[in-house]
Structures are given as C-alpha cells and as structure tokens.
Structure 1
Amino acid sequence: MSDLHDLCKFPNRPINNEYLDQLKYYLESGIPSTYTIEEAYNYTNNIETEPTSTTTPLHLICTHLPKEVSNEKQEIVNSMVSTLFEYGAGWSLIDINNDTPGCILIKRDLKSNPIYDLIVDAGVRAELLLRKVSEYDMEIIEDDEENELYKQFEQEEEQEVVPELVKEEQAEVDDAPDAPSQNQESYLNSKLEYVDNALITKDRKDGVMMSWESNIMKLGCDTLKKGSFIEPNELDSEVNILNIGFGMGIIDTMIQNEIPLTKHYICEAHPDVLKKLKEDGWYDRSNVVILEGRWQDKLNEILSNGNLFFNGIYYDTFSEHYSDMLDLFDIVVGLLKPHGIFSFFNGLGADRQVIYDVYKKLVDLDLSNYGLDCKFTEVEVPKSTLIQNDKSVWDDVKRSYWSCPIYYHPEIKYID
C-alpha cells in the first residue's frame, strides 16, 4: 500500500484541507488516480503478475468515509473525489469484492451521500465521451496527451462493468461476443423454450423473460393506455399500439384486455416465439397485426410509408444494446402520435444499482435531444417477486438480468 492509499483511508482526524492538498500533491507528482493497492503490493514485493482486482483510491474513500460528517468536511471529501475524477479515476472499476465505488456506498447505506451522485455523474460523462470518441478515427490526433487519454479510456472501458444491454448482466468469462446473450444474430439462431413460467435459451439457460415481470408489464400497459386519449376524457378515434418483442406475451395480453384498440401491432423476430404466437392464436385475432422480423427492418418500412402512427409504443427485447435503443429513438419520434407515449422494460444495467442509476440519467439526456420528456416512476420490487416456492427464480437460469430493489419505470412523451 502506498502513501496515496493510506491518505484515502482518512487515518487522521479531523478531515481538513490538508487531505485535499496532499492528494493533489501525489497526483501532480505523477501517481495515477487509478493506482491500486494490488499494484502497490506487487511493486513492493517484486511480483510481475498482473493483479486481477483494482482497489483504487476512490474505493478506499468510499470504504473509509465516516457515515456522519459535517457539511464542511463533506465538501472536502467531495473535492477529493472530484479531483480524482479530474485525473482520470475510474468510476466503475471493481475491487477484490467485485464492488465498484458506488456499490461500496450502497452496501454502507451511503447512497444518499453526495459522493454517490458524483460517481453517477462521472459514469454519465464517461459514457458520453466514449460514445463521442468512437465516432472518430483517433489515429489522426497527434497530441501525445490526447492519445494517452484515449488509451486510458480504452483500458478503462475494458475493465468497466457497464452492461450496455437490455436485460443483460455484465459479461461473464465464458460469454463470447457471439453468445446469444451478447449477439442478436446468435440469439435469433438459438433455440428457445417456455418452461416454468419463463422463456429461456434452451442450451445456455439464459433468462429471456420471466413471469415475475407481470407487475412491471402492468405498469407498461397502463402507461400505453394514457396515449389512447387526446385529452384526459377524449378517446382517440383510432388507437394503434405497438409492442416490440413478444416474449411470453404478458403485456400483449394486457393490451388486448385493457386498451380500446383499433390495431395491435406485435413485432417479433425469433422463429420459436413466432411459432408460439401461431399456436396461441394471435395470428387469428382480427385486431392484431404480426410484424415478422427485426424491428430495425419492419419499423423503417412503416416509417417510409408514412401513413401509420401509434398511440403507444413498448420496447422489450433480448440481446440488444443501448446503442440499439438510440437507433430506436430515431424511429420512435417519427411513429409516435403527438399525444402518444413510449415506454420500455428498463433493464439497463439492472444487475448493479449504480449502473442502473447511470443509465437512468443517460436515457433522460438522450431522449431530451429528441424533444421527448422522460419521467421515471420508482417502484419497489418485492423480494417475494423473485422467490417462488422457496427458491429463487434464477436457480435454474444461468444468467440473471435483475438484482436492483427499485424499478425505474419510464413514461416518455413529447415535451409540452
């Protein structure tokens, strides 16, 4: 352990400006803000093996921050964290306990501490920056510092745990890029099976959809129903609803039962799910239109025709990334009626609360660029929801896609 690491454990009290001054001294002297305890230990003991965990100064601050501090001392700690981020600290690097700095604060019941917001904001900035630099060929940049910064972000991105997937946990060691949970083409070519109130990939047992989501689907249905009204008491003369991703048909059944429909469009690409749709008679319903294929193709066709608009659009797919959702936003603004509402199953980073909070802010920011307003309703997920017959719903499923106690339900419409 180095002097920098000792400093971030707040060994002496009170916490005063000397801590901030000393931190700046170390960083200005060239010690990386991401310098880990593991690296310091290896250096001291002449060990050449690369460490497998990354306990950084930010982790130590989150671990040793007193639970009760005065406003003045809190401001000093806030400045220390901000300084670390200015020098490139990683907001989502994981320590030996597989915890990010934000995870540590949550475990210590310090989620309300201002440092947590600083970490979430850093995550949002990092995502936006990485998204931006990926648009350019960085080889044309000649400045050594900028090249080094880009390399640093590339390295951080490799170590970060951001799961840019809807209904997707962070990648496991055996999850190759072409695995069904990672790659849409592989998913569409994989076999699915409906078992015990769940839809899973047959070979790998990846959870695609589960019956515990019913309460969440009810939220989605109720939200879409609001778009059926031009005014609070004035029902639209033509009510068209679109659901992207049938899965187990939970929300589609609710839409049929609870919304005064003109047409109910279901876009689904997986052959096994389409087979289920046929077996269950969805193709025979007079007010249902099945769009067979990827939404990227089918919705662009509708958009090109320019004669169909929706009161409500719901999105709930598997093995798609947030970048796919950004593409969907481009289409939604062209298909949604002025009083229409868009929503989606919000599983963005839902295997880690801090990641979930980062995506909450990202979604809000991104949708505002389209002239859309996103309001989140926070709903507690009862522990009993994920326990059935005294066992976890994940017991027979290889990959879980949910571990957060609160669900952020999105309701999206045009800004008034």
Structure 2
Amino acid sequence: MPVDRRFRHAPRHRNRVSVAFMIGVLATAGVAVGADDWGHVMRQTRLGAFPDSGQAAQMPVPQPARGLTAQDWQDARVAWAYFEAHYRAETGFVDAVSRYASATLWDQGSYLMALVAAEGLGLITSKTFETRSAALLAGLERLPLFEGRLPNKAYDTRSLAMVDYENTPVPEGIGWSALDVARLLMALRALEMRAPQFGPPVRQLLASWDLGAMTAEGQLWGATRHAGETEYLQEGRIGYEQYAARAAALWGLDSLYASTARPILAWQEIQGVQVGTDRRRARSFGAITPVASDPYLMQAFEMGLTAEAAVLAGRLYQAQEARFLATGQLTSVSEDHIDQAPHFLYGTVFGNGRDWAVLSEAGAHYPQLRSISLKAAVGWDALYGSAYTQKLRAALRDLATPEGWLVGRYEVDGRINAALTLNTNAVVLEALHYKHRGPLLQ
C-alpha cells in the first residue's frame, strides 16, 4: 500500500540542520572558519545586554510545582495514548507522526522524556517503564551509524534502516544532527537519574558513539552528505543552541561557548515587548532564524531555566500575550507539523526579519498557515499559569482524540490542524510533569 503522505514526517530535523550555518568542510584536526559572515559575528566580543532589575521586576515568574487538576490528569492520559497507539514493539521506537514509520533521534529523545514523565506521573507502571526503556535502548544499540560515528538523521522505525527525510532507504546515511543527538543525550541523562539501573547500558551505548565529533571549540557541529562528500555544519539558532549545549555539557562535551545566547543576542521590539533574537541574520547565512517557544519550554521542564533563559522565555511569552491583547487573536506559536503542504512550519515570534513569521525550512513565509499550538499553550500554562494561558487551553480542549492530542488550530479560519505527532504529546506530558513535580532532571 502507498504511504499516506498527508501527515508525512516532514523534514523536521533537516529543518534543524537548515537552522545550521553552512560554513564549509572541517579539517580532520580542527575547525576551519574563514573570513565569512559567521566568523565575523562570532569573533566580535560585544555581548548582548540584559534588562536591569527594574525591567526584570515586570517579567512573568515561573511557577513552582503545584499539583494537577482533574482536567490536567485527563489531558495527561490523552497525551500518553499517542505512545500506546504508535509504538513499534519490533524496535522499541515510536513513530514521529501518526501512521508514518519514520523518526529522528530528536523524536526518540522526546519519546524517552515522555516515558520518564509518564512514569513520574503514575500513568504507567514501573514494569512498563522499565520494559519500554530497555526496548528503546536495545533499539538504539542496533542503529547503523553514519560513517560509523554517530546516528543518522532519520531511521525507519520498523527496521531501523538509515533513511532520508522521505523515508527512502539510504544505506550510506545522510549525516548526523548535533541538536538531535543532544536531545537524546538529555533524555538519557533523565533516564539514568530516574532509574540508576539503566546507567551501565546507557554508558555502554554512548561509548560506541563518537560524541566528540559533534562539538568543537565550544560549538555544536552536524554532518551532511553533499555531492558524495561529507560536510560539517555549525548547528543552532537562539534557544535551540543553548538547549543542546546544556544537554551536551551533561556528558562532558565541549559546548561552553554555545551555552549562552549573549554572543549572538539582539533585542527586537515586538508588540511593545523587547524579545531576544539571533543577530546572525538569514540574508547573511542562508538559514532561517526562528525565535520559537519550544527550546525554552523544554529547558524549563527538563532542567529548569537559567537566569538568562528565564528572561528570554518571559519576553517570548509576553509578546504572545500582548498580541492577543492588541488584536483579540489567541496566539500560541511553536514549531509544528501541519496537515497539508509544506507539512512542517516554524511558527515564530520573530524570524527572517519578520514579526510573527511562519517559516518553512526553505525560508518561505506562510502567514495563512499560522497555528494556535496546543503544546505551546499547555507548556506556557505549566510554566506561568496565567489567565491568558488558561484561556488558550480552554480554546483547544476539543483537540483531544483517542490516540493523542492534535497539533493545533489555524488562526485564519479556526480549522483544526489535524496532524497527530509524537512531539506535541511528549511536550504535554513534560509540561504536566513539571506542573505536578517540577523538572525531570532532579
């Protein structure tokens, strides 16, 4: 039977690699950065300034763990239903998109985080948690590696064969994403903290991967095949880069420079709010510049926000609430799959020089497909618990299905965005775990 491609796994982490900066081939012994725009920006010593104490007093404050309501418990059970319906027992993996047998390491990191959150919430038994965790680790051990070094960017969840983003087998692979690997590294750390018996197999797995290949000089580096050659790319935009750097640092990798946004920070006024953006502009680098909710929410739910990330997250949230107050349009933007071409979009507060840009991986703008994101709504509500976030959640209540939460609702006409994805449901579980018990890594 032909694959149903309506909700196909769009090149989500090709998105993340196109968020990377193509700067040429690295020498085996080091990083060769020429006199290009990237090198010029990163050699500058000016650091982005942060608000003074008076401005900081106006910031929203992350809420502590405070327990769940009856509705929250129901919402959590809906989210876990995705992982029941889309689990591949033969490999231990979960499909990234409903009925499409493909996934990346980012997706499996999200699944593992969902598994830890579900166990922490008591939605699954300890036996189920241990059985599924062991199966996932066994699947990860079976993965063929790109050039024998690190996991490929995408795999068939039925066979674990290396594939491209169309799920076509590519025996030699298509490269690795440092951000995807970092997402899994964060989840593996959460797993061994929750269940120390998994520490030895986790470390045995990671010892078989060349983790050092994904970092150099404090930066994160991915690899891609181009015209039969392997090229190395510096990865990350604001938010994503800092999240991945914190994950890599948990395993002793050299990601210090990428762990702060200050070297690449520029403030942009949006809806009267000064929002932190990435000053490495798309025109110079040929890469999209999404300022999105997801990396800040994940930092909060998994590790807790740093002082820097708390400011950036607070401003990002305030701009979304301010847009609603100014226009009456419910606003909750996130990277999300959509149920039509181009299948995956970055809903942003700022991107590629535009306020409220909705970007494809190629940089095309789709304002007519801006969604009110379910996972961002639940996430911001868990973090701040405001009257506005509660309004968002109430407006999206009808997105629950027997197999998990749908992605969101289109702003322009209120139609449901009927994509059904792993990452939406994983973020819901992480958010509700945070609301009930606090960050996962504690």
How high is the TM-score relative to the length of structure 2?
0.24
How high is the TM-score relative to the length of structure 1?
0.25
